[in-house]
Structure 1
Amino acid sequence: MERLDGRKPDELRPVKITRNYIKYPEGSVFIETGDTKVICNASIEDKVPGWLKGQGMGWVTAEYSLLPRATGVRTVREATKGRIGGRTHEIQRLIGRSLRSVVDLAALGERTIWLDCDVIQADGGTRTAAITGSFVALVDALNKLVEDGVIEQLPLLDFVAAVSAGKVEDKILLDLCYEEDAKAQVDMNVVMTGGGKFVEIQGTAEAYPFAREELNQLLEFAQKGIAQLIEVQRQALGELADKIGRVTKCQKPDPTGQV
């Protein structure tokens, strides 16, 4: 099949990361992946959730929001509904898990990094763009702690990024736009580190089951795309990129199911 924007099956949409996009947060990024545009802000809070107090551990968590006219038809703000939807809650947890996977929480100390991800325009892949952009915002926030003498070095084990892949009209494709995603036979989101390790794989057959060979190709496409996204992160971060990965051991609290 010919893709709507003429891309090859294993080709990403154009990606652009702009740092220091918002004035006030310790880290702020505007990420554009094709027509999907997300603002990712990282804020430092000098406290941790109650269940972590006194353990000498930090925390990284996220909130996600899709603005009312980020899509073709206006959606009602969740604040108006008075509750967070299931999809939003799932995405927030995914972003938090993904970022925590590469942070040494013990080296962070008893403080929380909040990642606020606001989608201002959606054309597929909003959660993966949020993860990829949030990592860069997180680096800037953590670097501010280093510059202020609060911590000695960036408590980061590796890079992390995410991308979508899918099966559309019996073809395996990377980085689906909305039109492709809407008719996908298989929809998958993959999160990986710079070292090529998987953080999360979310894959679902929308109509019929898919074969192991197709799963392998989906993961191969995702791995290729994530390697390219991490290179974009590196270029955006400049000299800061060389300071990532100097920590060798990640210490975390026992799993609790917390966001």
Structure 2
Amino acid sequence: MEALEIQRAHNRAMDRMRPVTLTRDVMKHALGSCMIECGDTKVLCAATIEEGVPAWRRNAHAGWVSAEYAMLPASTNYRTRRELGARKGRSMEIERLIGRSLRSVVNLKALGEYTVTVDCDVLQADGGTRTASITGAWVALHDALMQWVQAGKIPRLPLIGQVAAVSVGVVDGASLLDLDYSEDSRAEVDMNVVGTNEGEFVEIQGTGERISFNRARLNQLLDLAEGGLAHLLALQNEITAFCDEDK
């Protein structure tokens, strides 16, 4: 496949991510919170824990982890209306993705009959809000569960791994890692990849927006995604020391 070069923001190469920052403990009343910044995309993630589980989950002797996602009105270059009455299909799809991703690395039996909700609010959007939400949500979830352990609510951390997510795509014929809005809005192929610290995929969402793609291109995009995931997982571990914890 022919190698192409295009000019990108932050003067980054095709296989390089935007600058990523994870800031913990940004909210006083949340058990766990994290502000994630990926270039100009900023998402605030906050985790809370409540006793009990949804009605359909009762008698399962296991907990539940879910997420809610929203974009603040001024998060884009035009005002986004608040979803007060009817939820947008996009928001519901994204929060289900976040919830599935988080549950993939939680031992729900070990959690016990508690419900963890991670709220992901987009403060500023410049592409990759769903992938940033997953990456930041894991940090908030980790910290909330650690608080629950320290409070004696559960005997040990029920996390069995890390999870992060990154976007890849084809823009002007070039395969790129971590698309910003200017790239995502004109991508020929758009893909979101969720993966764990064990090197396994949780979910791959890939669409040929303007062109179809073959197996060679898919392999190339997944290789790019794996590099981005490794970077994000290392940043998570750097601030949480998850890999050094006695689980």
Q: TM-score, normalised by structure 1?
A: 0.92
Per-residue CA shift, 1:52-104, capped at 9, x if unaligned? 1122110000000000110011111111xx11001000000000000000000
Asked if 1:94 corresponds to 2:97, the answer is yes
The residue aligned with 1:43 is 48
The residue aligned with 1:107 is 110
Asked if 1:243 corresponds to 2:245, the answer is yes
**Pairwise CA RMSD:** 0.9
The residue aligned with 1:5 is 10
- How far apart are the structure 2 equivalents of 1:208 and 1:168? 11
- How far apart are the structure 2 equivalents of 1:132 and 1:243? 19
Amino acid at match of 2:178: D
List alignment gaps of at least 5 residues for structure 1: 247-259
Residue pairs, 1:140-151, within 5 angstroms: 140-151=143-154
- The offset of 1:241, in angstroms, is 4.2
- The offset of 1:18, in angstroms, is 0.6
- How far apart are the structure 2 equivalents of 1:110 and 1:167? 44
Asked if 1:57 corresponds to 2:59, the answer is no
Per-residue CA shift, 1:100-143, capped at 9, x if unaligned? 00000000000100000000000000000000000000000100
* Segments ≥4 residues shifted beyond 6 Å: none
- The offset of 1:156, in angstroms, is 1.0
- How far apart are the structure 1 equivalents of 2:164 and 2:194? 6
The residue aligned with 2:175 is 172
The residue aligned with 1:188 is 191
List alignment gaps of at least 5 residues for structure 2: 1-5
- The offset of 1:5, in angstroms, is 2.6
- How far apart are the structure 1 equivalents of 2:118 and 2:111? 15
- The offset of 1:159, in angstroms, is 0.6
The residue aligned with 1:249 is none
- How far apart are the structure 1 equivalents of 2:21 and 2:72? 20
- How far apart are the structure 2 equivalents of 1:208 and 1:225? 24
Secondary structure, aligned partner of 2:205 = strand
Q: TM-score, normalised by structure 2?
A: 0.96
- How far apart are the structure 2 equivalents of 1:8 and 1:132? 22
Count of residue pairs brought into register by the alignment: 242
- How far apart are the structure 1 equivalents of 2:88 and 2:26? 28
Secondary structure, aligned partner of 1:191 = strand
- The offset of 1:151, in angstroms, is 1.3
Percent identity at matched positions?
Answer: 55
Amino acid at match of 2:30: P
